[in-house]
């Protein structure tokens, strides 16, 4: 195992589920903490920045449960607003944000990889589990494509 100096940025609308989950999966899979996440809508009047994930949802939230069942947590993470600087500093950018929540600076960025992953907000545990499985496959493919050594901590 060696250190990877590659910054990965995962993006979704609210930075509460998909991007947080993808970053957690990536960090566990590669056994490091190079992935971060952000939201395109964070900072709007109804989506203030810096909210603690565990304060946003009940203790039995299916997103938290599926991650914890797989040895990860995002409960202590905070929501973060996407900035152009974050894009500039990232080596790889993956966006799951949907229209109309995609800012122009994100649309125009050539290093963005677009994943079509539905928002599991208020979803059933089954939908959240399916989202987790899809993200795990996509993250593994990303790791393999970039020849990032995998700690294979997800089986």
The reported pLDDT for the residue numbered 32 is 86
The reported pLDDT for the residue numbered 79 is 96
Across 79-87, average pLDDT: 97
Domain ranges of the chain: 8-145
139 within 8 A of 117, measured Cβ to Cβ: no
Write out pLDDT tens, residues 89-105.
Answer: 999 999 999 989 999 99
Q: What's the pTM value of the predicted model, to 2 decimals?
A: 0.90
Across 35-52, average pLDDT: 93
Contact residues for 34 (Cβ-Cβ < 8 A; gap 6+):
4, 5, 6, 7, 8, 26, 27
Report the chain's mean pLDDT, rounded to a whole number. 89
User: Around Cβ 38, how many Cβ atoms within 10 Å?
Assistant: 25
The reported pLDDT for the residue numbered 61 is 87
The CATH code of the domain at 8-145 is 3.40.50.2300
Confidence band for 137, pLDDT divided at 50, 70 and 90: very high
149 has pLDDT over 80: no
Confidence band for 150, pLDDT divided at 50, 70 and 90: low
Q: Where is average pLDDT lowest: 44-53, 135-144, 145-154? A: 145-154
Supply φ then ψ for residue 36, to 5 degrees.
Answer: -130, 170
With residue 46 as reference, give the H or E element that holds it: none
Write out pLDDT tens, residues 103-126.
Answer: 999 999 999 999 999 987 778 899
The reported pLDDT for the residue numbered 81 is 97
**Closest C-alpha among 4, 25, 1 to residue 148:** 4
Across 31-50, average pLDDT: 92
Across 47-70, average pLDDT: 90
């Amino acid at each position: 195992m060696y250190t990877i100096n590659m910054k990965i940025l995962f993006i979704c609308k609210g930075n509460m589920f998909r991007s947080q989950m993808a970053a957690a999966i990536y960090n566990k899979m590669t056994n490091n903490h190079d992935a971060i996440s952000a939201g395109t809508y964070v900072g709007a009047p109804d989506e203030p920045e810096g909210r603690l994930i565990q304060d946003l949802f009940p203790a039995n939230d299916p997103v938290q449960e599926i991650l914890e069942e797989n040895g990860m947590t995002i409960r202590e993470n905070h929501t973060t607003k996407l900035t152009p600087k974050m894009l500039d500093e990232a080596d790889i950018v993956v966006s799951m944000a949907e229209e109309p929540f995609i800012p122009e600076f994100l649309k125009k960025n050539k290093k963005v990889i677009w994943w079509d992953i539905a928002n599991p907000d208020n979803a059933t545990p089954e939908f959240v589990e399916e989202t987790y499985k899809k993200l795990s496959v996509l993250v593994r493919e990303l790791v393999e494509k970039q020849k990032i050594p995998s700690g294979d901590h997800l089986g």
